[in-house]
């Protein structure tokens, strides 16, 4: 087996990196769950801390401030946990302008295009007359 500079082998001759594949989905998911649990683990202690602060200082404003600071934690945790890893420079962008759907699509209406609206100045034909009765 050849050992070149472009190949990454350790001292024992085993390959260090054999692919540039992305991190597996299960590993990404596990990392996101860990981030979510770390952030959410501050929620319950914040509630207990607010109760303890009120018991110690008898000041509702301090307890309220701790509670207000803990309110956005679930939203922050969900946003961070649902975030995907950043794209690499090699990852292709798949935007196709030909497939772009317009904001207000319009359909062709051939039945409406052939219709001519009657003008108010044109006299309407008498329904009692037949085409043979019209003088030439």
pLDDT tens-digit profile of 40-75?
999 999 999 999 999 999 999 999 999 999 999 999
pLDDT tens-digit profile of 27-38?
988 999 999 999
Q: What is the DSSP string of the chain?
A: ----SSS-B-TTS-BS----PPPPHHHHHHHHHHHHHHHHTTHHHHHHHHHHHHHHH--HHHHHHHHHHHTTHHHHHHHHHTPPPPPPTTSPP---GGGPPPSS-----HHHHT--PPPTTSPPPPTT--GGGS--
Q: Which two tokens stand for residue 35?
A: 């981030």
**Domain residue ranges of the chain, discontinuous segments joined by +:** 25-85
Q: What is the pTM of this model?
A: 0.50
């Amino acid at each position: 087996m050849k050992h070149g500079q472009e190949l990454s082998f350790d001292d024992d001759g085993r390959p260090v990196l054999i692919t540039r594949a992305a991190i597996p989905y299960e590993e990404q998911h596990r990392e996101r769950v860990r981030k979510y649990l770390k952030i959410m683990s501050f929620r319950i202690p914040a509630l207990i801390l607010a109760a303890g602060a009120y018991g110690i200082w008898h000041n509702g404003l301090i307890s309220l401030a701790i509670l207000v600071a803990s309110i956005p934690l679930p939203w922050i945790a969900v946003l961070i946990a649902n975030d995907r890893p950043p794209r690499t420079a090699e990852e292709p962008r798949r935007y196709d302008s030909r497939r772009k759907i317009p904001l207000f699509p319009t359909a062709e209406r051939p039945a409406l295009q052939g219709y001519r609206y009657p003008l108010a100045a044109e006299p309407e034909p008498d329904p009692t007359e037949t085409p043979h009765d019209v003088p030439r």
